[in-house]
Amino acid sequence: MRLRIPAELLEEIVSAASESNVEVCGFLFGERRGDEWVVRKVTFVKNRLNSPTAFEMEPEDMVKALDDAEKENLEVVGIFHSHVSCPPRPSSKDVKGMTLWPVPWLIVTGHKVAAFMLEKGKPKEIELKIISRCQSSRTLP
């Protein structure tokens, strides 16, 4: 498994995470090609918990993001969020979320980034390949 993301989109996520004292979160939209998940668009979603240690996506923002992506013929190819002060590894709450959203999860702490998927109920780090060319939609709540 591999997550391919344009450098510009990854930088948007890293920049937003480093500027925030709460966890930022959102969707990675694109297409799946075999064992690759290819990111074409990043959409930030409001963290309704407004917390430095946890996130929950605002339901209305989620629906809008999903509707917009569907209109563009894009599918969910990942979930992203930041950790403010702990390493970019899935927490137990993240693992629960990964069971509901079985796509790659991109986690950012500072300038450290890692991608994970569940394998036999446990998070496994997957390859993260940074590419060029993108479509952007950064709207921070």
Q: What tens digit of pLDDT does each residue of 19-28 get?
A: 999 999 999 9
> Which residue is catalytic, options 11, 19, 23, 36?
23
141: pLDDT confidence band, cut at 50, 70 and 90? very low
What's the domain range around 53?
2-131
**pLDDT number for residue 133:** 62
CB-CB contact of 89 with 114 (8 Å): yes
**pLDDT number for residue 140:** 41
Q: Is 126 a member of any domain?
A: yes
Instruction: Based on the residue annotation, tell me whether 58 is a catalytic residue of this protein.
Output: no
Calculate the alpha carbon distances from 100 to 78, 104, 110, 135 in Å: 12, 12, 26, 26
Q: Is the pLDDT of residue 109 over 80?
A: yes
Give percent of the chain above pLDDT 90: 91
| Strand 112-119 versus strand 105-109 pairing type | antiparallel
**Mean of pLDDT values over 90-107:** 97
Q: Is 101 a member of any domain?
A: yes
**pLDDT number for residue 25:** 98
Q: Is the pLDDT of residue 132 over 90?
A: no
Q: Is the pLDDT of residue 137 over 60?
A: no
Q: Is 140 a member of any domain?
A: no
Q: Is the pLDDT of residue 139 over 90?
A: no
Q: Is 90 a member of any domain?
A: yes
**Mean of pLDDT values over 83-107:** 96
Give percent of the chain above pLDDT 70: 94
Q: Is 138 a member of any domain?
A: no
Q: Is 93 a member of any domain?
A: yes
Q: Is 50 a member of any domain?
A: yes
Q: Is 137 a member of any domain?
A: no
**CA-based Rg of the chain, rounded to a whole angstrom?**
14
**How many distinct structural domains can be found in the chain?**
1
Q: Is the pLDDT of residue 138 over 80?
A: no
CATH of the domain at 98: 3.40.140.10
